[in-house]
Amino acid sequence: MPDALSEVAPDAMLDATTATPATQTIRPNDNVDALRFYQRRGMRLVRLWPDAVTQARKLLKPEIPLVGADGITVRDELELDRLLAGPNPVEGAATS
């Protein structure tokens, strides 16, 4: 079964056989589907931005919901980066 995000994520950004230095994404803490999607494609969690969404809600976008997917409070952002060289380290691994 394909990931729901595979329809909207640019394939070039997530090439499983090569890595691009500029490959980076930032996602809110409640988006576990996106976290699963990007990690399966060789990206790694590299940074936590505590209360980034809380601050964005206060200063820029008050319409950001307090509670997101799966009843998780939306407050932080997680940054994922792609390794700079080499193939996807889990290529061919089980995808359960």
- Residues 62-95 have pLDDT tens digits of 999 999 989 999 999 999 998 655 555 555 554 5
Residue ranges of domains in the chain: 24-82
Considering the chain, what is the average pLDDT of its residues? 77
| Residues facing residue 49 across a β-bridge | 77
What's the pLDDT tens digit per position in 6-43?
444 444 444 444 544 558 899 999 999 999 999 998 89
pTM of the model: 0.63
Could you please report the per-residue DSSP string of 5-64? GGGTS-GGGG-SS---TT-EEEEETT-HHHHHHHHHTTEEEEEEETTHHHHHHHHT-TTS
